[in-house]
Structure 1
Amino acid sequence: MTLNQGWIYRDRISARYQGWMVLDYYSERYPHLSRGDWGDRLHQGQIHLNGQPTTATTVLAPGQTLTYHRPPWCEPPAPLDFTVLHHDPDFLLIVKPSGLPVLPGGGFLEHTLLFQLKQQYPDIAPIHRLGRGTSGIMLWARTPLARQELSRQIRERQMVKVYRALVADWSHGERLIITQPIGKLPHPTLGKVYGATEGMAAESRVERLGEKAGVILAVMIPTGRPHQIRIHLAAAGHPLLGDPLYGVGGGLKLEPVNGTYPVPGDCGYWLHAHHLSFHHPRTGEPLTFHCPPPPPLTLP
């Protein structure tokens, strides 16, 4: 395994943290590492304040900039064999494989779709996101105009996104509309994780398609909240088959496995972005694209 190039994480200090010490700030903001771990990083000179190495007891003021200079590390493996479904001067449609993260996080930096695409398209920007374990169509803007117009279509619910999902069983008939709000729940290592609780409005429209080693569902989402389909199907009593994090009711399954707690980026479920419709950002032409689902999600 080869090392990546490392990364610099930047934080601009807000008024809320005036008078805090540097070690208190990192321990509170980023509890995935222990207070001792952050102390070690400070001692090793990996954390700077306004461009200069700092200490654990330095007092912060609004407007200052903290940077954590993470040394190069070996990233977890991820499949990098994505394909381009459609190429346009204003946008790209990418077929993302399950297991490839879209954005950096959870130990991934170069093994992400964003990093890989930027090698060829430096100005690329995601219009929507797919979870690490989700496969299928993903839309990326190549120009400022496309980013603005396609983001507007997302906000105004003019973009149609349909997924295929696999659940163990289904008890809600042929169709179901789920409107469970999505907010943040406590997580022992990440601090907060999205789940079924009071928060942002969300809507999923579910259609039962058939059975094949489980029940195959089509899910259309007018809204695009984080992990929405996983949370909504779990809230309806039917979590995705093999989902390691979301259980019946849409809450978090927090039993540790081999000493670690499940996180949103864990895989094991079948969810595929199957259909995407939108208007061309420059011409207004209606466009529709399909991406065939993997075998577990194909109808018998």
Structure 2
Amino acid sequence: MPVPEGLEGMRVDAAVSRLFGISRSAAAELIADGDVLIDHSAAMKSDRLSSGVMLEVTLPAPEEPLLPKAEVVEGLDVIYSDSDLIAVHKPVGVAAHPTVGWEGPTVLGGLAAAGFRISTSGPPERKGIVQRLDVGTSGVMVVAASERGYSVLKRAFKERTVEKTYHALVQGLPDPLSGTIDAPIGRHPSAGWKFAVTADGKEAITHYKVVEAFREASLVEIQLETGRTHQIRVHMSATGHPCCGDPMYGSDPNLGKRLGLIRQWLHAVKLGFHHPANGEWVEIEAPYPDDLHHALEVIRG
């Protein structure tokens, strides 16, 4: 293209940055790689443009979007499905959707392999996703199958009208036996891959009640009002009662080993929401998987 009059006298790196909406450093890389020419000659980033000269820029190909890889996912059970939604029992070790750096199985990939139609709404790598469970957490998860399902369920999760119920086996006995933990959660100040209760974190509210108490641990029912990353694990740890099998957040590794746990004892047991089609209240439950069931039997003696 001929250099526009408005860019006359501007450094080449600044002009390329402005013209194509890329960062100054990205423009400098293009220039260093010989991908920016002025009148058919390679430019230097400090060169200044003259009006009317020809500027030729070769931009890199856009990054390929992360797309779910259709593959059979062992242990991924479809609990319920209709034209608006699909509810699955997500096993541990499975991500909700593709992310950078994750090469394991995904819920979306498993559903694609099973022939389910997913809503086309949402970013390419997570179409139909209205909620997520951590890779290390099992339980019931719902995916939108239609555009109506996506918009209604997405809004329901945002407005907190969905009832999210979890069971967790935590160390010790919480006191009081039922209560609410209202403490903001943010990135851990010294370990970016962890989360913690922080003064400048996002609002996080957890309701809990003890269902069954044992000598070393308690089975707790939890309802989430918010949905922060690692919320239950962080909140229970902050009260001195980390999830069994969760050394990242302070559990006793010896107890976890004795219970046969290689992940935190945490399971999404139930989701309750208004159906996108008719507004009727729906509750979908997922039973404990074998590893969590075994740990309960051991702790019960």
| Structure 1 length-normalised TM | 0.65
- Which residue matches 1:8? none
C-alpha contact (below 8 Å) 1:160/1:277 kept by paired residues: yes
Encode CA deviations 1:47-105: one digit per residue, 9 max, x unaligned: x9xxxxxxxx999xxxx7775679xxxxxxx9622101111110011001112222224
Q: CA deviation at 1:172?
A: 1.4
Q: CA deviation at 1:231?
A: 1.1
Distance 2:190 2:268 in 1: 27
Q: CA RMSD in A?
A: 3.6
Partner-residue secondary structure (3-state), 1:133: coil
Q: CA deviation at 1:214?
A: 2.3
Q: 1:65 to 1:224 in 2, by over 3 A?
A: farther
- Which residue matches 1:118? 112
Aligned length: 228
Q: 1:90 to 1:169 in 2, by over 3 A?
A: same
Q: 1:193 to 1:173 in 2, by over 3 A?
A: closer
- Which residue matches 1:273? 268
C-alpha contact (below 8 Å) 2:76/2:110 kept by paired residues: no
1:156 is matched with which residue: 159, 163, 179? 159
Amino acid at match of 1:94: V
1:201 is matched with which residue: 180, 203, 217? 203
1:219 is matched with which residue: 218, 222, 239? 222
| Structure 2 length-normalised TM | 0.65
C-alpha contact (below 8 Å) 2:85/2:149 kept by paired residues: yes
Distance 1:291 1:227 in 2: 20
Q: CA deviation at 1:108?
A: 3.0
Distance 1:118 1:187 in 2: 39
Percent identical among aligned pairs is 30
Partner-residue secondary structure (3-state), 1:126: coil
Q: CA deviation at 1:127?
A: 1.7
**Greater strand percent: which structure?**
1
Q: CA deviation at 1:243?
A: 1.1
Higher Cα Rg: structure 1 or 2? 2
Amino acid at match of 2:23: Q
- Which residue matches 1:6? none
Query: Larger RCO: Structure 1 or Structure 2 (Cα < 8 Å, ≥ 6 residues apart)?
Result: 1
List gaps (5 residues or longer) in structure 1: 1-12, 25-42, 49-56, 71-77, 249-266
2:288 is matched with which residue: 278, 286, 293? 293
Partner-residue secondary structure (3-state), 2:287: coil
**Greater helix percent: which structure?**
2
Please state if 1:175 is matched with 2:178: yes
